[in-house]
Amino acid sequence: MKRACMSAIAVAMCGGLASAQFGTETVNNGTFESGSVFLNMPTNWATLGNPGGLWTNAFNHTPGGSRSISIDIMNGFHAWEPVLEFQSEIVPPAPTSNGGPVTFSFWYLMDGEVTNTAVVGAKIDWFSATGSRIGGTPDLDVETRDTMGEWQQFTTEVMPPVGTTRARILLFTFAADTSDPAADGVVYYDDVSLIQAMGEGTCSEADLAEPFGLLDAADLMQFVGNAISDQVLLTVDDNRIGNSSFEMGEDDPMDDPDEGFTPTDWFSFNFDPGSNFYAEAGVNGAPMARTGDFMVRVADDGPAGGFHGWAPDPIAAAPYNLTNPLVLRGWFNIPAQMTAQVIGVKVEFPEVTEEGTYGPNRGSTGDIFLSTTGAPTNGWEEFVVTLQPEELPATGDVARPLVFLFQGGAMPIVGDIYFDDITIGQNDSRQADINEDETTDAFDVIEFLGLYNMGCPGA
């Protein structure tokens, strides 16, 4: 279905609108009136940390209501948030769609004198359609004073960043004064609201481009452009791999092998002394780097064969989503004939532990051969590996590229191979996925055309 639609981008289109409605309340159970007496929890809300106070009837702001939530002021960060599936839907701003600013408000009551070191307030985090956090408000602090039993309102207008489809609200307190572990005070929250306006001057969710207030060819072309961008493979500018051109690191690792020997945030695996080097352009027989002054080398002078190569540390590996194609790109250079039986690349999908180290590997592309003869290349040659979403394991945390060579038996590896500009890219959102089914296809075209043909209300 996707290919049929895309080859027909001749047929015209596939572009991106969320299903949220302008001017309507997007916070689920923001009055906290619904909940479980047995669990003492409001419906569709959860806690971060241990907020002390919970779903309560001690104070209430909602007319005719009886409930609110509370947080005891104590050391550390403590908060309430809507559970994931009930967080606020957001219409993305232009050029993806025509979402406008959101008005965020809540009521709060301070009971007791809150310690001066505490911070009390709220914040909003913005997320894309694939679940990536793409921005957030600063802490929206309120004054920490006893409100003497009176509810106070906080309200502000903020603009979501381009690509936002979901907002997570945090109602929080934070205190860092460890000398006062029993800080006094309780804060109550009620009537939390988040309402989005239409983009300035727009008249419909199909009104994607200037001139706003009119549905015309510019909106059709924006829609087509969004659809095409959903299908374009990413370039090095979209790279998620750290230090992918190897320009950061030890200039001359042989001066102090205990300190360097690798480029920053990369490591050499199955290393044999004399085999894998951080190479400088034109030094010790190395060719010119493809970009910059540095690259990595595998082989030459190793005492025996085996499996040797380079991979990024966890901090430099690529986070990925399960929605869009993932693209590995890189360049390799074999200046002279090698004896290696296999020269190749692969992508593994390991977990990353809380300590920031690699955990179990949850999937792999297997070996992808670049050469099985070791024949010289004509300078730098590019390789591109594209993985479709269905090929990506759901349980990995990052995509880790490996560049390697293999020589079986005890025969030494003779010759050198160099790698440079190793990148991984992936779209974080589908701009044309109107119906939010995680694919851009003919159904999105139908939905857009329906909105477009309805025209501007009142026109």
What pLDDT sits at residue 164?
87
Sign of CA dihedral 389, 393, 397, 400: negative
Is the pLDDT reported for residue 361 higher than 80? yes
Topology of domain 28-198 in CATH is Jelly Rolls (2.60.120)
Residue 20, token pair as written in the block:
């949220």
Residue written as token pair 């939010």: 436
Residues of the chain with CATH 2.60.120.260: 28-198, 236-426
Please tell me which of 157-161, 204-208, 436-440, 455-459 the model is most confident about, judged by mean pLDDT: 157-161
Residue 87, token pair as written in the block:
């967080």
Per-residue pLDDT of 4-44, as tens digits, reads 333 333 333 333 333 455 677 889 999 999 888 877 889 98
- Between 265 and 85, where is the model more confident? 265
Superfamily of domain 236-426, CATH level 4: Galactose-binding domain-like (2.60.120.260)
> How many other CB atoms sit within 10 Å of the CB of residue 356?
9
Give the type of residue at 124.
I
Please tell me which of 221-225, 339-343, 439-443 the model is most confident about, judged by mean pLDDT: 221-225
User: What distance in Å separates the CA atoms of residue 392 and residue 400, rounded to the nearest whole number?
Assistant: 12
What pLDDT sits at residue 138?
82
Is the pLDDT reported for residue 444 higher than 70? yes
What pLDDT sits at residue 194?
93
Per-residue pLDDT of 266-301, as tens digits, reads 888 876 555 567 777 888 788 999 988 889 988 755
User: What distance in Å separates the CA atoms of residue 383 and residue 377, rounded to the nearest whole number?
Assistant: 13
Is the pLDDT reported for residue 311 higher than 90? yes
Per-residue pLDDT of 111-138, as tens digits, reads 876 666 678 889 998 888 777 777 788 8
What pLDDT sits at residue 261?
57
**Rounded average pLDDT over 63-88:** 84
pTM above 0.75?
A: no
What pLDDT sits at residue 114?
66
What pLDDT sits at residue 272?
56
Q: What is the percentage of the chain residues whose pLDDT exceeds 70?
A: 76
User: What distance in Å separates the CA atoms of residue 447 and residue 363, rounded to the nearest whole number?
Assistant: 37
What pLDDT sits at residue 334?
93
Per-residue pLDDT of 221-268, as tens digits, reads 887 887 776 665 444 446 788 888 888 876 544 444 443 457 888 888
The three-state DSSP-derived secondary structure of the chain is: CHHHHHHCCCCCCCCCCCCCCCCCECCCCCCCCCEECCCCEECCEEEECCCCCCEECCCCCCCCCCCEEEEECCCEEEEEEECHHHCEECCCCCCCCCEEEEEEEEEEEEECCCCCCCEEEEEEEEECCCCCEEEECCCEEECCCCCCCCCEEEEEEECCCCCCCEEEEEEEEEECCCCCCCCCCEEEEEEEEEEEEECCCCCCCCCCCCCCCCCCHHHHHHHHHHHHHHHCCCCHHHCCCCCCCCCCECCCHHHCCCCCCCECCEEEECCCCCCCEEEECCCCCCCCCCCCCEEEEEECCCCCCEEEEEEECHHHCEECCCCCCEEEEEEEECCCCCCCCEEEEEEEEEEECCCCCEEEEEEECCCEEEECCCCCCCCCEEEEEEECHHHCCCCCCEEEEEEEEEECCCCCCCCEEEEEEEEEEECCCCCCCCCCCCCCCHHHHHHHHHHHHHCCCCC
CA atoms within 13 A on the CB side of 190: 23
Cβ atoms 370, 376 nearer than 8 A: no
Is the pLDDT reported for residue 321 higher than 50? yes
Please tell me which of 14-23, 70-79, 131-140, 325-334 the model is most confident about, judged by mean pLDDT: 325-334
What pLDDT sits at residue 411?
65
What pLDDT sits at residue 342?
80
Please provide residue 78's backbone torsions phi and psi, each rounded to the nearest 5 degrees. -135, 135
